[in-house]
Structure 1
């Protein structure tokens, strides 16, 4: 009995982390997502992302991640941070075209830690995020989505550099 319990305790960290490894890998094949694997350490990628967002004239509106809260509970999981990005200019412009589309703001970047400690930067492209609202928001909403997609691309390139 004790031997089985001992083996289970040794496997527990693997069993806890396995779903996170699988879910991080599934980011690669998502329609409408941009995924940038890097050699940059996870914590550095978060700092560089925040700086790139600011340099591109947007604002980190929200941040959330389960890593620190899990650690406080004695659970170790890979680094995981979501950063919502937008600004008031875009909010006013989007609202003038589609109240429903504002449910998508802020648009999120997703930083995940790989087993070697490096970070991966992923996000749904703004064109993908706003696509369902373009039929009612029209060409002007598509222009906003295009602008934001260009900004998100520039942010990603600067953050992973």
Structure 2
């Protein structure tokens, strides 16, 4: 899924961080090639991966499928466009976990789908 935002890169990343917390999820880690490049005085369009999950979901996920552990944390990818606006890209949890063929995992993922959709919707709102 890709959602456009009129916010600048740093603003959208900050809004996503806040929205993640507001929706009771955890920001597990963050990586940004553009920030890394900037530390070397190289300028590239903004991009960041925000890794999001929560321990109670992790426990449920692993009880349903140890192999699915590679999918956590789930990711939100922010990219900056040439006009200075941004986009958020993510794969819906139900799509991420579908290949594992577990009813319990599918149920958990269906719970997470609206959480991730709302995190993004709140962050990109004007």
Of 14, 35, 47, 1:68 maps to 35
Equivalent of 2:11 in 37, 44, 54:
44
**Separation in 2, partners of 1:89, 1:48:** 24
The answer to whether the aligner puts 1:144 opposite 2:111 as a matched pair is no
* Offset, 1:82: 0.1
- CA distance in structure 2 between the partners assigned to 1:40 and 1:90 by the alignment: 30
Shift of 1:154: 0.8
Task: Flag the structure with higher helix content.
Answer: 1
Q: 2:61 aligns with which of 73, 94, 101?
A: 94
Report the TM-score, using the length of structure 2 for normalisation: 0.95
Q: Does 1:156 align with 2:114?
A: no
1:120-135 equivalent positions in 2, closer than 5 A: 120-133=87-100, 135=101
- The count of aligned residue pairs is 125
User: 3-state DSSP class of the match of 2:6?
Assistant: strand
The CA RMSD measured in Å over matched residues stands at: 0.9
Report deviation, 1:63.
Answer: 0.1
- Give 1:117's aligned residue: 84
Within-5 A mapping of 1:8-19: none
State the distance in 2 between where 1:74 and 1:83 align. Answer: 23
SS at match of 1:62: strand
Q: 1:118 deviation in Å?
A: 1.5
SS, match of residue 117 in structure 1: coil
Equivalent of 2:22 in 31, 39, 55: 55
TM-score (norm 1): 0.75
Q: Which runs of 4+ in 1 moved over 4 A?
A: none
Higher relative contact order (CA 8 A, sep 6+): 2
